[in-house]
Structure formats: structure tokens, C-alpha cells
Amino acid sequence: MTTSVSPSPWQNKIVGYGEEQIADIVANPANWKRHDATAQDALIGTLNDVGILQNLIINRRTSPHWPEQERDHPVLLDGHRRVLVSLKRGQPSWPVTYVDLTPGEEAEALLTLDPLVALAQAETEKLAALLHEVSSGESAVQQLLAQLAEREGIIPPDIPEDHWQGMPEFEQEDKLGIQQIIMHFDTYEDVVAFAALLEQPITAQTKSLWYPPRQRGNAAVMVADDPLT
């Protein structure tokens, strides 16, 4: 008869809780995740809407496996983006969970903390219901939620070409003519003489002329509008 052996309980590596001044927190030199401006803006928007919901994680590094120069020097394990936006916005402190990991444990935690969250699969109906409940005044948050909804297939991507299916072809009429030139006059008499030559009036407000004269609307005019305005 085979007796099943219960697995050993997981070891609790949390050794304390507290609050740290943002300026005193040391970033982890092995942190491999980049935090672009878009992600930072979305996080700031969420913090503006809801406030602080999650502790930073700091490794105290007391294990003898750490090199002597690194031992007993607490280093940030999780929350680098939150520290960045705190420095950006002047947040003075943040609640902290303290852990005590060996170098190998810290390396594994750095690799897996965020990716494990990213591997979660969405339950579409529940996600859609949550998205329906949330309306943020923060544009970065709204953009983040729209990207999430599009990624999970809740709303299709907005492709402008799709709205044009079945619509008639449209060609923009060229109203600029075949050539444009800029005229310079030394005196007002030269302006008058040129207007008489073209048989078109030229005033101080005239910006452009058509030759031969064109019509604007239903009224025949001798001085045409500037086609670029």
C-alpha cells in the first residue's frame, strides 16, 4: 500500500512591513523591465483615481549567500515603476513589504513576478462587466482600458478603412491651377497699371488673382480668393 506524502507548506519569506521614504529606496541593479512614459502616465492616472493599493517589495538581503558588499543593504525587488512615478510627482513615501531572499531566489522573483500576472487568461464576460463599470477622467487610464478591451476581443480594433467599404470613390478636385507666381511692384502706379492690363481690380486686401477671372459661388468676381485659404 502506497502512502501519499503531503507536500511541505510553502516557506513564508515575508519578514515585516513598514513604510519607506521614496528618496531612500535603492533600485535593483538587475531589474530588467523598462517603464516607458505611456505606462507611467497610466499608473499615475490610476493612482489619482484610486490611490495606493499595493506595497512595494524590498529584499533585506541578510542571507550569508550574498557577497559581503551587498549583504544587509536592502534593495527594491518589486515596484520600480511606482517609485519612478512617486519621484516624478513628489510622493514622499510608500508602504513596503520586506522579504529576505538569497541571490538565486531574488533573481527568480525578478523574472517571474510580473510575467506570471501577464500569463493570466481573461474571462471575457467578467472583464467586459468590469470595463463597463469604470469611467476614468484620466485619459491615460482610458487608453489603457481601451487597449485591454481590444486585446481581449471585447471591442474590435478601429480600422478607418473598414468604415469606407461600399462608399463611392472620392477624388479631390485640384483648385490650385497649373502654376502660381508671386508679383512684386515698386509703386502703387505699377499696381494700377497691372490691374488695367488684366482688367481685374486689385486692392490692398487682394491676395491672389485668377487669369482668366473665375467665379465664386453665383456671383462673378474679378479678384479671386487665395486658393490656399
Verify that 140 and 197 share a domain, yes or no.
Answer: no
Same domain, 19 and 104: yes
* Residue 168 in domain: no
Examine the domain organization and report whether 111 and 20 are in the same domain.
Answer: yes
CATH number, domain of 57, equals 3.90.1530.10
Total number of domains constituting the chain: 3
With bands split at pLDDT 50, 70 and 90, how would you rate the model's confidence at 65? very high
DSSP track, 135-175: --S-HHHHHHHHHHHHHTTSS----GGGGGTTPPP------
Whether pLDDT at 162 is above 70 = no
Q: Dump pLDDT digits (tens) for 178-205.
A: 777 888 888 877 888 888 888 888 887 7
pLDDT score, position 115: 74
> Rounded mean pLDDT of 1-17?
86
> Domain end: 70, 98, 118, which one?
118
Residue 100's pLDDT is 97
Task: Check residue 184 and give its pLDDT.
Answer: 82
Are residues 134 and 184 part of one domain? no
pLDDT(40) > 50: yes
Higher-scoring residue by pLDDT: 219, 66: 66
Same domain, 37 and 109: yes
Query: Which range of residues forms the domain containing residue 154?
Result: 124-158
Question: Measured between alpha carbons, how far is 54 from 82 in angstroms, rounded to an integer?
Answer: 10
